Amino acid sequence: MAQLHKLGLLTAALLLLLANGSEAYAKTDRDLLTGHSTPMEGSLAFQFFDLASQQAAIANSTGIQLARSSSARGNYDDVLCDRDVARIRDAINNMEEWALEFPDTWGRLPVGFFWGHLISMGQYEECVAATATYGNDLNGQYCLARLNITQFYRKVKQRHEEFSRISYKQTDPEIFELGVCVPSTCSAEKTDALLKYAIAHLYGNDVIDLNYQLVQEKWCKYNAPVEFRGVDIFAIIFFSLIIVFLIASSVYDYVQTQKSAPKKPLFIAFSVLHNAPKIFTVKKVNNPNVIHCLNGLRCFSMMWVVFGHGYMTFYDLPHINRNKFYTWVQTPYSMLVQNGSLCVDTFFFMSGLLMCWGAFREMERTKGKLNIPMMYFHRYIRLTPVVAVVVLYIMSLYRYSGAGPMWFKLGIQDQRCADTWWATLLYVQNYAFPYSICVSQSWYLAVDTQLYFLSPLFLIPLYKWGKKALIPIAIFGILCLGCTVATFLQNDFTLFRVQDDHVDLRQRLTYYPTHTRIPTWLIGVIFGYFLFTRNRGRQIPLAKHWVITGWVVAFGTMLADMWGPFWRILPDTPDSPLIEGALFEPLSRSSWALSIGWIVWACYNGHGGLINDFLSWSFFTGFSRLCYCMYVIHRIVQLVNAARLQTDTHFSNYDAILRWWHDFGITLTLSIFATLAFEAPILGIEKAIFGRGDAKPAPKKPAVAESEKVVPTTEQTADIAPATNVVEQEPEIQPIASRAEDPSKA
């Protein structure tokens, strides 16, 4: 009997074990099929709805309830919020798929948290598409909560290796961003209260600072009917009309061509058939008034602009190894970005050179006179249309170009334009709103336009008095250099921007102001004066050893400007004294411009060899005709591409180059459209109304004067006008027909 009793007990235990095993297996099988595993059940995402329902019950029983709230995007109702949270909880317990989507879309603790990956976005699209199966009155709302984790991070025993990284902003993380999905009836205040309750219940009060607001309405989004504003409707009608004009004008051009009938200039202003060949057709012009190498310099500088700005945007992406940046800035490669602003000085130099060259040709024809009002007028109407179109897009259709967690952070360009758009169209944004420029890179257009308006003060004395005017001009440039040095010393600005604690102030005082750019621009003006008066139409011979010396000095100077201060950013190198940064910033700009001047002079005089052949490649001629539109458009392309991201990224030079290629390709495509739709038609209309470029005066004989100003030429055509319309086949170099050079801010 005892043995039978023991056998019975053993059999019962075995059956119980089998039953438990079967249950566990079934549960495991269920978990594998549904993804509803035990760790997920215990996660904040799943526990939130259960705890939130508990909190709602407590609030209802005590009579403490948040009042019904409203916002610009819709009405929230806390009673309905509690109802919907309870519905989701019950459906989750019942393993209903539509309800499981809510916690499924929440962010989790990310990979690389201790490498600076402080955002877990979750699944935005799944959240805003979530809805109950039994009706449309329960929909998902995505919020990017911002959790203050300073209390948690104080407990982390760090390795104390900060000395191996640059000191710039290398501080303990403060905010962790977590994507959450809640019913669309829940207000930001209600969600904030529920999330704090859930966090306190699960993790206690010493992990997250619960006094900090975790959820804000501007960081929440749910699917709602699109309601077009007046400016949106205007933009849609405007862009639609432009497309109609392009089609109608092209059809008219085609029909008239088939009939061999004359064409009215105004009717073909928008014709793609008429304007496209002016962009893509390249004619090699052997003309002393053409400096071919400028096209290559312009194109490479434009690519450098997109490259530098691309890294600025690339840094803000949700990298899983974000802290890699702090060691990246200590690499030689990073100097291409950190000192990338030198390409700005290339453009300012070319702007001054071409301004002087064009003005002297104009005054040569008019016996020393400039029609200054018309000069300003033509400048404005040639520069502004593309800028105005970009501003219109930002203020209207930009908000519909993307969505998601990164859009909350980067897709805010329209907010910057709300109050500052007018300053952009008047080209005073670098002084009026230096901290919130509407089209961020348009600070250059403002500076270059202001220099254009000031140019008669320098050009007329240079033309009339020749070298006598150089002394006061040079003194003025030196004073502007001294002003930059004094600004650096007064505000304790450092050698590198990444080490500066006041980068925005530094930009406002030393980067955007016009007076800080005058020295480089004046170097271009003076260089243009000598090139026009002493060099035009002939090549100056130079001994080979002097040519080699010139190239070595020029390249050596450019290398020193680019990589000279690199050793100062290394972790075991002492910080530079203030005077070093104060002198390096203005002097590197000027020396860079002088080096570019040597390249231009050597190529123009036949001492460039393969460098001149490459920079003068006909491919760059067509490419350079798109540079202005590329400059105005590229930044918004980069911001849209970055703000649309909904997945994590990886920080590396290779990944940055990949992003550069697709940003560059999209920008190039849009620039072709913008040139054909806006820039070329404006120039065609201008030509039809004012008749510019119809008559080409006969070449004048040079005046035999001390300045030896003019050398006989056989043509009055050129390709080097300061941003002369890029789609005219034979644009004349005239200041009143000029447009801004293409700039950068790296």
Rg (CA), the chain: 33
- In this predicted structure, the answer to whether residue 12 has a pLDDT above a threshold of 90 is no
Residue 204: CB partners within 8 Å, gap ≥ 6? none
- In this predicted structure, the answer to whether residue 21 has a pLDDT above a threshold of 70 is no
pLDDT band with cut points at 50, 70 and 90 for residue 63 = low
- Asked if residues 126 and 104 have their Cβ atoms less than 8 Å apart, the reply is yes
* Residue 543 pLDDT: 94
* Section 701-719 average pLDDT: 33
Mean residue pLDDT of the chain comes to: 83
Residue 405: CB partners within 8 Å, gap ≥ 6? 119, 121, 122, 124, 142, 144, 177, 179, 646
* pTM for the model: 0.85
Pure H helices in 323-469: 325-328, 335-338, 342-365, 372-395, 405-410, 413-426, 429-432, 443-454, 456-465
* Residue 16 pLDDT: 35
pLDDT band with cut points at 50, 70 and 90 for residue 746 = very low
* Section 242-253 average pLDDT: 96
pLDDT band with cut points at 50, 70 and 90 for residue 20 = very low
pLDDT, greater one: 224 or 336: 336
- In this predicted structure, the answer to whether residue 102 has a pLDDT above a threshold of 50 is yes
pLDDT band with cut points at 50, 70 and 90 for residue 151 = confident
pLDDT band with cut points at 50, 70 and 90 for residue 230 = very high
* Section 606-618 average pLDDT: 93
Q: Left (φ > 0), alpha (ψ -120 to 50) or beta: where does 376 sit?
A: alpha
- In this predicted structure, the answer to whether residue 267 has a pLDDT above a threshold of 70 is yes
**∠ Cα 743 235 386 (to 5°):** 20
* Residue 502 pLDDT: 85
Q: Among 151-165, 313-327, 359-373, 437-451, where is mean pLDDT lowest?
A: 151-165
pLDDT band with cut points at 50, 70 and 90 for residue 703 = very low
- Asked if residues 68 and 185 have their Cβ atoms less than 8 Å apart, the reply is no
Element at 89 (helix H, strand E)? helix 78-93
Nearest alpha carbon to residue 651 among 269, 419, 159, 310 = 310
* Section 691-697 average pLDDT: 49
* pLDDT > 70: percent of the chain: 83
Residue 639: CB partners within 8 Å, gap ≥ 6? 313, 410, 411, 413
CA distance 708 to 700: 13
Q: What is the 3-state secondary structure (H, E, C) of 21-79?
A: HHHHHHHHHHHHHHCCCHHHHCCHHHHHHHHHHHHHHHHHHHCCCCCCCEECCEECCHH
Q: What single string gives the DSSP state of each residue in 598-667?
A: HHHHHHHTT--HHHHHHHT-HHHHHHHTTHHHHHHHHHHHHHHHHHT--S-B---HHHHHHHHHHHHHHH
Tally Cβ neighbours within 10 Å of residue 79.
13
Element at 145 (helix H, strand E)? strand 140-148
* Section 348-373 average pLDDT: 91
Nearest alpha carbon to residue 690 among 727, 728, 733, 737 = 737
- In this predicted structure, the answer to whether residue 709 has a pLDDT above a threshold of 50 is no
- Report helix angle 97-104 to 44-62, nearest 10: 100
* Residue 14 pLDDT: 38
Element at 139 (helix H, strand E)? none
Structure tokens at 728: 């005219």
Scored b (16 or more CB within 10 A) or e, 471-497 reads: eebeebbeebbebbbebbeeeebbbbb
Question: Tens digit of pLDDT for each residue in 499-554?
Answer: 777 889 999 999 999 999 999 999 999 999 999 999 888 889 999 999 999 999 99
- In this predicted structure, the answer to whether residue 561 has a pLDDT above a threshold of 90 is yes
Residue 673, judged by CB atoms within 10 A of its CB (0-12, 13-18, 19+), counts as middle
* Residue 168 pLDDT: 52
CA distance 398 to 35: 38
- In this predicted structure, the answer to whether residue 228 has a pLDDT above a threshold of 60 is yes
pLDDT, greater one: 686 or 241: 241
Token look-up 């952070």 returns 409
**∠ Cα 669 511 587 (to 5°):** 110
- Report helix angle 680-690 to 272-280, nearest 10: 110
* Section 130-144 average pLDDT: 85
Tally Cβ neighbours within 10 Å of residue 205.
12
* Section 709-737 average pLDDT: 32
Residue 221: CB partners within 8 Å, gap ≥ 6? 124, 128, 141, 142, 143, 403, 408
* Residue 177 pLDDT: 94
* Section 253-278 average pLDDT: 93
Q: What are phi and psi of 682, to 5 degrees?
A: -60, -40
* Residue 311 pLDDT: 94
Tally Cβ neighbours within 10 Å of residue 337.
23
* Residue 274 pLDDT: 94
- In this predicted structure, the answer to whether residue 150 has a pLDDT above a threshold of 80 is yes
- In this predicted structure, the answer to whether residue 114 has a pLDDT above a threshold of 90 is no
* Section 291-300 average pLDDT: 94
